[in-house]
Amino acid sequence: MTSNPRVAVLLIAPFLVVSLLLTLPVYADQTFHTARLPFVITSAGSAAGHPNLRSGHVIDIHTNGPIIYALERYVVNGAKPNTDYQVELSVSLTGCVNPQNVLVPTALLVTNDQGNAHGSWTFTPASVAAAGLHAWMTLGITWTLVSGGVTAYQTPSCINVALD
């Protein structure tokens, strides 16, 4: 170690700055916490020749702010190779208890030769308004993957999502 105090400060200062940044508060959405939901094959998907996935899921991340409502990440591993899957949200306007649904298309997943694909979607206030969902505070959502008009995969249950 050096006996020069100036050099010692220059060596220690970056670590102090990083430590301070790591202690600053981070604000997450207090109403809805991040959800990771698996995709499972549907009976229609099985009948149409879509295989059981090795793995697949949607990650739904909500921020606490007016610029971005949600970030969604989609992953499939072992789906039908070289196939397009349209991600559609089946949205119940009054939560999971009401079957009144609106279909909201988001990302298009295109699988490779091994049947793997990933994609993402960002919900902004403008995209929520364009989908006609801005007037609703709690929505029930089931995620589906549609190929050739067939709902091949979906999340196993509806979850309630709050727009705040």
Model pLDDT, residue 79: 98
Give me the pLDDT at residue 120, please. Answer: 97
Predicted confidence at residue 84, as pLDDT, reads 98
Per-residue pLDDT, 48: 98
Query: What does the pLDDT read at residue 161?
Result: 85
Phi, psi of 29 (to 5 degrees): -65, 125
Structural domains in the chain, sorted by start: 27-162 (2.60.40)
Long-range contacts, stretch 59-62, CB < 8 angstroms, 24+ apart: 59/34, 59/35, 60/34, 60/35, 60/36, 60/141, 60/159, 60/161, 61/34, 62/29, 62/31, 62/32, 62/33, 62/34, 62/161
Q: What is the pTM of this model?
A: 0.78
Those residues of the chain that have pLDDT short of 50 are 20-21, 23-30
